[in-house]
Amino acid sequence: MSRDVISHYKITGTLGHGGMGVVYKAVDQKLGRPVAIKTLLPERMGDEKMKKRLMSEARAASKLNHPNICTIYEVDEVDGNLFIAMEYVQGHTLSEEMSQGPLGIEKALEIAAEIVSGLEKAHRENIVHRDIKPSNVALTEEGHVKILDFGLARIVEKIAADTITKSNQNLSLTDEGQIVGTIAYMSPEQLLGRQVDSRTDIFSFGILLYEMLRGQRPFRGDNFIQLTQSILHDNPEPLKAIHPNLPVDLDRIILKALAKDRENRYPTMKQLQDDLVKLKEQLKAPAQTTHQDSIAVLYFENLGAPEEQEYLRDGLTEDVITELSKLERLRIFPRSAVIAFRDQAVTAPEIGRQLNASHVLAGSLRKSGNRVRVTAQLIRSDSGHSVWAERYDREMNDVFDLQDEIARSLATALSIKLTPTEDKAIGQKPAENPEAYDLYLRGRRLFRRGTRKDMESAAEMFQQAIVLDPNFALAFAGLGHVCGRIHRYYDQNPQWMERGIEACEKAMKIEPNLPEALSARAFLHYGHKEYEEAIRDAKMALERKRDCEGAYFVLGLALNITDRIEESTRLVDLAIEFNGDDYNVYLPYVTAFSRLGDEKRRKSLMQQLFRVLRMHLEWAPENARARVLLSSNYADHGDVQRALEELSKALEYSPNDAGTLYNAACTYGVLGYKKEALATLKKAIENGYRHADTIVRDTDLACLHDEPEFHLLIKKLSKP
């Protein structure tokens, strides 16, 4: 074998290197077709007896002929080097496809169907792959699947075992202890060294399908021991808990494939294939099946004194959304999807059709003294007919029962039988004391208004709620969050951070892993520059509550500050879907696209942000932070006059506020006013803006990067 020719194959390039050998691109000089040549190094092959047995297995695999299997043309040995000639696949691997984040359900199921088809054919020929993983699945330029390395996994598996025995090292760990290789996709029986069969491929496929849909594997660990323990003992979190819009049957299929005991898995790939076919048929069914039992809960119409009762109207609406989200069979639109229709002159059926919801829940609220009257009506979007309607007259002390009754009545109207878990979840009260809950709702609304005065008032409301109900975890979480925001944007006194941390600790003690407390703690970690901890807590919050307030915002901030820009951009669609009514959530993702140079996506986000800022300022016109961000948006669109007008108003509201001054400097930077940008940035720093890591990464200040004084400011700020 020469460097340029292996047998009758002429080498034209190198496709990849691995621990077992090299893969070349070559041309079959006899047939004139492109091929891939995998050479396995002699020192990796063990004794001659073993080599002959493995050669026999590889030749058996070469007999497989299926459109979703990469064909093995030849297995031979030249000058002591075993090589395999196989079909050359023009395209990319599934691991590359998934590097941009989770795949949509339709795409994931199309890929899954072709993987299963190939595996089912192999299993009928009594051939088990043993190494199903993303890098062993290729996607052709036409989008079809080719499973790679059939018949080779056994070779690698036996050599790996031999290597581990001789060197007492694990093949799937690097020097730093990071997981590579195939252990992450192994079945329990593989990890335990037991004999494998076709159900081993079923388990690995289950991991692969879960990863395609979620963007991460069901079993994880920082090293070999942790990962092995996770595969052997952990139960994967159901996808339905993370993405409620996914069909229930999908979780059932995946969890059955991932059963620890192979006797509880699908006995054959054919049966798994049949279930996937049925699921795809359900998804392709007419619209009434696809969108059945999807409800958009509209903000209740406030029939009382507008400002006095707005907090209650918002609180009741959002809590009904939360209660209904506990019902597995219902698809409930998040707050961000319906808030734009609040107080708009659009009929309920029309809103339902715009959102593609099968039903709309609309109603009204009037509070008088300690009594509240609520009307609620469930309406079909297609016909406008009422499915259910009810009127409730209650004391404020019974407000929890009111939310409970609405959720249960809707379930009955839609013929949904509650499971014991759902029944228990709906019955849980957020607080024991109704007056404390009322204070919490007031504080939550003030927090969202976002001015310094409102933030400080929100902190006081949460504190009063805690006095009335010392076990009110949500109130503690609210206090923790508001303290973190005040410290970040208005007052760098460390007492705010200390108070916020203490509140989060108490919330977590009362209710461990409360999503709102995790989100608040993430923001406090971010303020302490504990970025990995912030990322961890934000992700945990979103795993437990997909629309957890503030979680996508702090996650985007922390990913940006640690320069994980591409990971940040993969989250943007979910961030906007679930938290898109909060103008803050757009900011880190706009910065991320700007840093990547993706002007199209950045501009699109800026347009969405513009609409949300205008909506927010109609509600809270004195919010200097929102107004100065609007000025920056006008500057980005080249509207200099309006940018300066909004900037002037913002500085009039908060002339010495560090956060407002910093954002004003950014507006000047976007306009290209270097002198004003530098002077305003200096004033922001003098008033307490100390975030050097943010300043140097902010593309709005790019015009100052060639100014020596700018770098002196950063150097001074960066000193301990």
CB atoms within 10 A of CB 336: 18
Tell me the Ramachandran region of residue 371: left when phi exceeds 0, alpha when psi lies from -120 to 50, beta otherwise.
Answer: beta
Angle separating helix axes 248-257 and 269-283, nearest 10 degrees: 170
Q: How far apart are CA 581 and CA 549, in angstroms?
A: 10
**Separation CA 319–CA 431 (nearest Å):** 12
Within 13 Å, how many C-alpha atoms sit on residue 613's CB side?
22
Contact 452, 654 (CB under 8 A): yes
For residue 120, give both structure tokens.
């089912």
What is the Cα–Cα distance from 590 to 596, expressed in whole angstroms? Answer: 10
Interaxial angle between packed helices 248-257 and 198-214, expressed in degrees from 0 to 180 and rounded to the nearest 10? 140
Length of the chain: 720
What is the enclosing helix (H) or strand (E) of 242? helix 239-242
Question: Amino acid identity of 40?
Answer: L
CA–CA distance, 341 with 100 (Å, rounded to integer): 33
The full DSSP string for 40-57 is: E-GGGS--HHHHHHHHHH
Cα–Cα distance list, 76 to 26, 39, 40, 319, 398 (Å): 15, 10, 11, 68, 80
Task: Read off φ and ψ for residue 346, nearest 5 degrees.
Answer: -130, 135
Backbone angles phi, psi at 102, to 5 degrees: -60, 150
Instruction: Give the span between the Cα atoms of 564 and 581, in whole angstroms.
Output: 24
Return d(Cα 159, Cα 147) in angstroms, integer.
21
- Between CA 537 and CA 286 the distance in angstroms is 40
Task: Calculate the CA dihedral of residues 322, 323, 324, 327 and round it to 10 degrees.
Answer: 110
Q: Cα–Cα distance between 420 and 75 in angstroms, integer?
A: 58
Give the helix, strand, coil percentages of the chain, each rounded to 5. 60, 15, 30
Q: What is the largest CA-CA distance in the chain?
A: 94
Residue 127 CA to residue 497 CA, distance in Å, equals 60
Intra-chain end-to-end CA distance of the chain, in Å: 62
Radius of gyration of the chain (CA): 30
Instruction: For residue 678, give the 3-state DSSP assignment.
Output: helix
The tokens describing 571, both together, are: 């989250």
Two structure tokens written together for 494:
């460390």
Distance CA 342, CA 640 (A): 31
Q: How many other CB atoms are found less than 10 A from the CB of residue 126?
A: 9
Residues near 411 by beta carbon (within 8 Å), at least 6 away in sequence: 327, 330, 417, 418
Q: Is 382 a catalytic residue?
A: no
User: Among the options 28, 131, 438, 581, which is catalytic?
Assistant: 131
For residue 327, CA distances in Å to 161, 248, 424, 540, 632 come to 48, 12, 11, 21, 42
HSE value, Cβ hemisphere, 13 Å, CA-based, for 574: 29
The token duo for 230 is 């996770």
Nearest to 595 by CA among 628, 573, 567, 630: 567
Mapped onto helix, strand or coil, the DSSP state of residue 374 is strand
Active site amino acids: 131
